[in-house]
Each structure stands twice: as C-alpha cells, then as structure tokens.
A and B are shown apart, each in its own frame.
Chain A
C-alpha cells in the first residue's frame, strides 16, 4: 500500500525522461548477443566532426522498441583527449571532472591498478593515450553486426573522420545455441543493475535503493544522468554548457582478462579441504551459485526457479546474516552492492551505485574443456555513472581493492582483486558439517586488467551540437 503511494507521488513529481534524447546504451542493456567496440583516433577536428554528423542518424536512442528489437544498435562516447581533438572550446573542456580529464591510466594508483594490472602491462592501444572515441555496436546476428559495422566504417571512410585504432569483439556465451548471461568462470551475471527515477524499465525488488519499510525504490536520476538531481538532491558535477551535459553520462571501459585455468586450478586445489565442496566454494567467492541463485536466499543448493523469479532473484538483504555464514562478508556481490550490510538502512551505498553493461570476449571454454590463461578471454566491463570518482572509483578503491568498510582489513575482493599471490578470502561458516569456516589463501589474480579508459556519452542533442560546432560555454 505504502509502495503504491510512494510510486504515485513520484509519478506526480517526476515526468518520464525524454528517451529520444538519451543514448539507448545508457538507458537499457540491449540484451543483444554480439558486440563490436570500435576505437577511433581523430587527426583532424573538422573531418571528425563531419563523421559525427554522418553518424548521428545511426545512433540508437533510448526510445522504446515497441516495434520489436532492432537488428543492431550504434552508440558513441569520447575520451577527454577526444573532445580536445574535436576542438571543443577550452572553457568547456576545463569544466569536465578532473578524473575524466585525467583518464583511467593516470588514476591507476587510486584504483589499485598496479603490479599485474599496471598500465605498463596493458594492451598497446591503451598505453599511449591515442583513443579518442568508442563506437559501440550491438547486434542480434553476425550478419547484422557486419552490416552495421560496414555502415559505420563507410561513414569514417567517406568523411576521413578518423583512424580505427582497434576493434574489440564481444559476445554472449552460447549454451545449446542460445545466448546466456554467463561469463567465462561459469557464473551467471547481470542481475544487479539499479533502477532510476523516470527510466521505464522492467524493475524488480533489490535493484534500486532500500527504503525504511524494506521496500525498494528507484535511485535518483542524477546518479546516472547528468542534469538531474542525484541522491544528495544536487546536480552532479558536469561540464558547461548545461545542454552539453544534460542527458549524458560517463562510461568506464575496462578490459578484464580472466585467468580461467588459474581459477579452475585454485578451486581444484582448495575444494578437497573444504567440506562444502567445489561448487559451494565457487559460489562463496561470488555470493551466487553458478546459475545465479543468491547464497543469501539459498545457501545450501542452487535453485534455478529462484533465479527466474524477478520478485526474488535480487530481493534480499544481509541484515539477518551479519556474520556472513550464508553469503560471506567478502563475497563479490556483497562487496560491490552491500545493500543494508553497513547499517543505516542501506543509505550509505545509494551514492555508490553503478550501472553495468558489457559482454564476455574470447573463446568460450565450457567446464571440462581445457583452458589456458594465455587465451585472450575475459569480460568487457563497462560502467555508467554520473560521477566516475564518487561512484565507480569509490567502489573499485574501497570495496574491491580494500576491505575496511566491511571490517575485512586489507582483504580485497576474492574474485577480482589485484592479489598477486598474496590475497586472502575468509569464508565465514557455522557448525553444520557442509558449511564450515574456511580461509582461501595465496590468492592469485583471477582477473587482470588489460586496459581501458573513461568516456563521455553525450545526449543526442549534445552530439548534434558537437556535430554542428555549436558548443558554446558562454
């Protein structure tokens, strides 16, 4: 009853967003199985601008797909260097947040991207700061992907708008001929994206912010989009003019290599010592069984029906599991989305949420099929947020590469932390035989960063302004 009242009040105060002015990639996960990310370098501002003008009609907006899914989608984002290359006015360029101006490489120390994850070890394309733009193409089929890419490349060629530095293919892992949301370690991914006010989306409990009565409500729009109030009631830091920023967002792009062989071997080595068994050990790392069943709701066995039920699959809190005996305190999903785990009815985390996009890349090695760490395989992680420093960087620094907020000292995220062989992950347990406490020691890097950067994804209006040279900060 209360929920309905809250909803209706929101409906009065917040009209729906102008979906046609927002890039579709920002508003929704396309759930298209194939993707190609094209990275461009702009040599000449006027030719690059001509390319953007040419591309503009192809950009997919957030308009709802009432007529069915399109065969393919196109979206675009720019690094700060890219916008310098586009010769936007200095008075605009200087108003972008510092972390965005610096780019991800310069933020390496803050992010814990050191050692095995250090920029010196990244793919060459990410080391020299030449990437100016990301063009993201998603498609339903290989034919549609090629057709769409050809059209984009033709626009580049025709306008001589830029140089293609690199393309990155990514694809959903197929099982029995059907695309899945599995990643290479075998876990089902993609449950936890937040809901935001004004964004029409199939929403489900557990995906927004926790309310005092235990219900879930959408986060403030300004946690995702520039130009709207955020959870503090303020407009996020954004470049001028306002119209350049409004309806845009920032994207973090990270190529995360997965050492599948190392992960499997680690499970093989440690599972014999763990009375819960290999699959439970794997589940404890992430906080979900491989099929996605949350440990918090079903600690003893996966329950596939639960994963298929939107009313339950993300609808849980950790308040009754303070000791972490069901879902370990350091499990990946509990770290990156602590829900109520830090007290204060979950309010401490509402300004630290990110929206994730992304797909696996590289050859699939199903469980039982041999895999080597040397295989080029991993996940393209893309996070969208209004403030990279307050949202993504905070989560990465404090909750993935550090453990103090969870009272875990220096422990890092067991699965994706930068451990370098020295990591530790404590699995809390109880007195039942199949759920003993256990310590995973000498953790290697199951995941290694191979590069990436920070991008600005402008609104359709802002893209038009860039394409027509109309960005005027005065």
Chain B
C-alpha cells in the first residue's frame, strides 16, 4: 500500500501556491511567515486535531539540479508540501483538521491555487484528494499503534519506571505491601486520562534550535 504502513497512513499533499506578482509579500513568503510562527507542543494544530504522529509543512520553491554539467530546469509552480503520518485515511484525517483547526488550514492554504476553504468539508476533501500524491516508501516511527495508544504507552512506561524507583527492594522487605501498592497504582493508572499530544516538550514555548544538520551529514 503506497500510503499505508501497518495501521499508520502516510499522506503526501502538494498544493500549488498562487503566483501573483501584484501581491507583496508574495503568497509563498506569507506561508513561510505563518509556518515560522506556528506553535509547537500542546498548542500545535497537529496536537489539537486528532491522529497526527508526525507532520511537516514545507514550501518548495523549485528543484535544483546538482551536478555537472549544470542543467537548468524548473517546476511549473511553487508548491506547499504537506506530509504526515496519521491514524486515518485522507477524508477522515482532513475532516479532523477542518473540525479542530480550520483557522490554521485557511491561513495556510488560502495562499494555494483552488483552495475552497475549510468550511465546505466535501469541497476541502475533494481538493486535498486532487493534490494528493502517493507517498510510496515512507518511514513510520510507530507502525501499529494509534496516537492515543502511543501516548498511553509512553505514560505507562513513565509511570511504571517511577513506581519501580519508589519501590525498589520492597519485594524482599515487604512483599505484601508491594503487591497492595502495585494494585492501587495499576488501578490509578488505568483511570488516568490519556495525556494530550505534544505534552512534555521542554522547548514548546521557547526557541526552536537547529538540532543537527549541515553539509555532508
């Protein structure tokens, strides 16, 4: 399946950006500016809307041939590239974005050719389907777990580790108490709500430092 790996979908959408020389700053720069200020962490639109494992929005100006002899070739348009790993197929996933973060969709895609707006759900889905290309081979960080399942698993891992730290050695000194406390811990953990996506990031509200990168990686 070119757009699915395990239970996770790989969605790739290329939307042509409006080329209008009368507009300043140009539409592509306006998208860039908006993307640069998008919140990360819990306030990210992809944390607010359901089902995103990973999302990337990129403005692709052109493709540049690297090699010799130099060869000049150009795309027909600038494109907005939208890639995600998500829990559902295109119609359901886009419907979720339209329901939870329509203002972000409109702010970004209103600079793209033919965008119908998030309010008209059917037209929006048809538009995105028209812009969709097959993802083919893609890397999914998590193949067979939904976002809520992954968040629950991480919460459980953290909680169990904390429990172990607090109770290491008790199996010898007081096994009955250990068992009682574990039962209580397990019940409490089960009752806990799933933590919100994007929670626990330290840098959510601060800078976004370049992590790695550079020539020749």
Contact = CB atoms under 8 A, between A and B. Distances in A.
A439 B161 contact: yes
A390 B217 contact: yes
Contacts of A232: 216
Given A109-B209, A273-B169, A390 B164 contact: no
A21 to B, nearest CB: 24
A441 to B, nearest CB: 4
Contact of B168 (A389, A397, A398, A438): A438
B212 A394 contact: yes
A227 B67 CA distance: 21
Nearest to A99: B214
A439 B214 contact: no
B211 interface: yes
Interface in B202-217: 207, 209-212, 214-217
Interface string B147-173: 000000010010001001100110000
Nearest to B169: A273
B165 A441 contact: yes
A97 B214 contact: yes
Interface residues of B, number: 16
A376 interface: no
B164 A236 contact: no
A397 B212 contact: yes
B210 A98 contact: no
A273 B168 contact: yes
Contact of A439 (B154, B168, B207, B209): B168
Question: Which of under 10, 10 to 19, 20 to 34, or 35 or more describes the interface residues of A?
Answer: 20 to 34
Interface of B, helix, strand, loop or mixed by DSSP? loop
Contact of B161 (A236, A272, A397, A426): A426
Contact of A387 (B154, B168, B216): B216
B161 A389 contact: no
Given A273-B169, A439-B164, A397 B211 contact: yes
A424 interface: yes
Contact of B215 (A237, A394, A441): A237
A272 B169 CA distance: 9
Nearest to B170: A273
Given A424-B161, A439-B161, A390 B216 contact: yes
A91 B114 CA distance: 48
A81 B80 CA distance: 41
Contacts of B210: 110
A98 B161 contact: no
Contacts of B209: 109-110
A427 to B, nearest CB: 11
What 6 pairs across the A-B complex have the smallest Cβ distances? A441-B165, A273-B169, A389-B214, A439-B164, A273-B168, A109-B209
30 contacts: A98-B214, A99-B214, A109-B207, A109-B209, A110-B209, A110-B212, A234-B216, A236-B216, A237-B215, A273-B168, A273-B169, A387-B216, A389-B212, A389-B214, A390-B214, A390-B216, A390-B217, A393-B212, A394-B212, A397-B212, A409-B154, A409-B157, A424-B161, A424-B165, A426-B161, A438-B168, A439-B164, A439-B165, A439-B168, A442-B165
Given A97-B214, A109-B209, A389-B212, 20 more contacts: A97-B215, A98-B214, A99-B214, A110-B210, A110-B212, A232-B216, A236-B216, A237-B215, A237-B216, A272-B169, A273-B169, A389-B214, A390-B217, A393-B212, A394-B212, A397-B212, A424-B161, A426-B161, A438-B168, A439-B161
